[in-house]
């Protein structure tokens, strides 16, 4: 499906979004605009509502109030790719890597109607893009976490989405794989003009690729550039414990130390939510 997406207009916008689960107010007033090709890191403590925010954008749950707008598209089904946390698979699962990627075609209107040769070609192109050709014919249950993540990313991108939502894709990955996955997503996002919202607890691999950072806590959000948010003072204030941001060889590194005492500053939100 070809959709007209303007670079000057947000692809996704959330306007005063509020979400409760029963009496539990998870998101109080979220405002956000995500532009085409923009890479946003979504961070915040456990239970802050990061996955819930992704589900709202996916349309899986509806807000109590506020508006969520996805470009001008009427049919958003194929416009959003979603990568869940790693799969928990039985090692005996008969599905091969390339079958998992092909499943991404079946969720859209032309998946089954695609000529088998064209279908195979599309799957091969995606496997090459995520550098997964060498293990594409292995049963997915026997692949490593990093290999499975590459396949899930290929699956989510095969229907040419305009927005990619990734929910903690780095959990269970080693440092090298984490950096590789982040670089891969950032590269494909920029090449194809895909907006990315990337949920993570490990911020370090994202520091060089994020355009902006969205921090969720206590139902509210703070958004800013990496330089605005990644300061020891700001992160310590947001998390409520000592977080140090160091510059080593020109690169930022975030170190969290929950046991340290820290002065929690009186103003809980150092930045206005700029959307
Ligand atoms: N379907 C649901 N029904 C009731 N409460 C829910 C539901 N889904 C999530 N919650 C609650 O909403 C809050 C936010 O959950 P969510 O999974 O969005 O947090 P998160 O920021 O992604 O957390 P984590 O970092 O631990 O993955 C939590 O307190 C959770 O228990």
Burial (CB < 10 A; 0-12, 13-18, 19+), residue 101, is buried
Answer yes or no: is the C-beta of 42 below 6 A from any ligand 1 atom. Answer: no
pLDDT above 80: residue 272: no
Q: For 218, which DSSP code?
A: T
Q: Could you tell me whether strands 80-83 and 163-167 are parallel, antiparallel, or unpaired per DSSP bridges?
A: parallel
Q: Could you tell me the distance, in angstroms and rounded to a whole number, from the CA of residue 213 to the centre of ligand 1? A: 20
Asked whether the predicted pLDDT for residue 253 surpasses 60, the reply is yes
User: Tokens in use for 179?
Assistant: 């950096």
For ligand 1, mutation pick of 17, 19, 20, 21 (most atoms within 8 Å of CB): 21
**Residue 274 scores a pLDDT above 50:** no
Expressed in angstroms and rounded, the spacing between residue 36 Cα and the centre of ligand 1 is: 27
Query: Cα of 46 to ligand 1 centre, how many Å?
Result: 8
Domains and CATH numbers, the chain: 12-225 (3.40.50.300), 231-265 (no CATH)
- This complex has an ipTM of 0.98
- CA neighbor of 215 nearest in space, from 254, 175, 250: 254
44 lines ligand 1 (CB under 6 A): yes
Is pLDDT at 266 greater than 50 in this prediction?
no
Residue 2 Cβ inside 6 Å of ligand 1? The answer reads no
User: Mean per-residue pLDDT for 66-83?
Assistant: 80
Residue 170 Cα to ligand 1 midpoint, Å, equals: 18
CA distances from 181 to 28, 97, 255 (A): 32, 17, 21
**Sheet with 195-199, edge to edge strand ranges:** 80-83, 163-167, 195-199, 39-43, 212-217, 220-224
Residue 80 has pLDDT above 70, yes or no: yes
Q: What confidence tens digit (pLDDT) does each residue in 23-52 have? A: 999 999 999 999 999 999 999 888 999 999
CA of 12 to the centre of ligand 1 (A): 22
pLDDT surpasses 90 at 79: no
For 154, the token pair is 């290929």
């Amino acid at each position: 499906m070809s959709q007209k997406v303007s670079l000057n207009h947000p692809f996704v916008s959330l306007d005063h979004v509020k979400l409760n689960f029963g009496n539990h107010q998870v998101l109080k007033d979220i405002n956000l605009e995500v532009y085409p090709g923009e890479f946003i890191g979504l961070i915040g403590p456990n239970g802050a509502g990061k996955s819930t925010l992704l589900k709202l954008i996916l349309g899986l749950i509806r807000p109590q109030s506020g508006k969520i707008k996805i470009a001008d598209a009427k049919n958003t089904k194929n416009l959003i790719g979603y990568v869940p946390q790693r799969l928990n698979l039985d090692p005996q699962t008969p599905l091969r890597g390339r079958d998992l990627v092909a499943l991404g075609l079946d969720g859209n209107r032309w998946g089954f109607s695609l000529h088998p040769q064209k279908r195979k070609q599309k799957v091969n192109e995606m496997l090459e893009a995520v550098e997964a050709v060498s293990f594409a014919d292995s049963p997915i249950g026997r692949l490593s976490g990093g290999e499975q993540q590459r396949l899930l990313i290929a699956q989510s991108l095969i229907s040419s989405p305009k927005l990619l939502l990734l929910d903690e894709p780095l959990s269970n990955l080693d440092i090298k794989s984490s950096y590789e996955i982040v670089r891969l997503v950032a590269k494909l996002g920029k090449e194809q003009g895909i907006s990315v919202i990337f949920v993570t607890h490990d911020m370090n691999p994202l520091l060089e690729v994020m355009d902006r950072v969205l921090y969720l806590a206590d139902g509210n959000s703070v958004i800013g550039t990496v330089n605005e948010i990644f300061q020891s003072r700001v992160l310590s204030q947001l998390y409520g414990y000592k977080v140090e941001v160091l510059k080593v060889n020109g690169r930022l590194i975030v170190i969290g130390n929950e046991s340290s005492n820290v002065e929690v500053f009186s103003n809980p939100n150092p930045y206005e939510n700029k959307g």
